Amino acid sequence: MFTGINGLLLLYYTVINLATFVIYGIDKLMAVKHAYRVPEKTLILMAGIGGGAGALLGMICFRHKIRKPKFLIIVPLVTIVHIVVLFLLI
């Protein structure tokens, strides 16, 4: 069922979303410890290259970046775009 390009797309989206979720968790941990942080550009970029679902889940699970309007607008928007593109391609 998911072979060829479809399988690669699903693998890509799985990996990028898992990585994004982990990075949001690491950034939250670093925020609590007042340590070096992941730049906001990187967090937005991870969502933009396909990790939007992982970013949303990270925002909810870790209660991270939920008060930043930039994240509340951009992350859901790019997530919707990627979902639509994924369904169009599959």
3-state secondary structure of 2: coil
Residue 90 confidence (pLDDT) above 90: no
**Contact between residue 70 and residue 40 where contact means Cβ atoms under 8 Å apart:** yes
Q: Residue 16: name the closest of 51, 55, 59 by CA.
A: 51
pLDDT for position 2: 66
Q: How many domains does the structure of the chain reveal?
A: 1
Cα 70 versus chain centre, distance: 14
Q: What is the extent of the structural domain holding 52?
A: 4-89
How would residue 1 be classed by pLDDT, with cut points 50, 70 and 90? low
What does the pLDDT read at residue 88?
Answer: 85
Each residue of 7-22: b (16+ CB within 10 Å) or e? eebeeebeebbeebbe
| pLDDT confidence bin for 59, thresholds 50/70/90 | very high
**pLDDT in the model for residue 26:** 97
pLDDT digits 0-9 by tens, 4-54: 888 888 899 999 999 999 999 999 999 999 999 999 999 999 999 999 999
Residues ≥6 apart with Cβ < 8 Å to 48: 74, 78
State the pLDDT at residue 9.
87
The pLDDT, as a whole number, for residue 50 is: 95
- In total, the chain counts a number of residues equal to 90
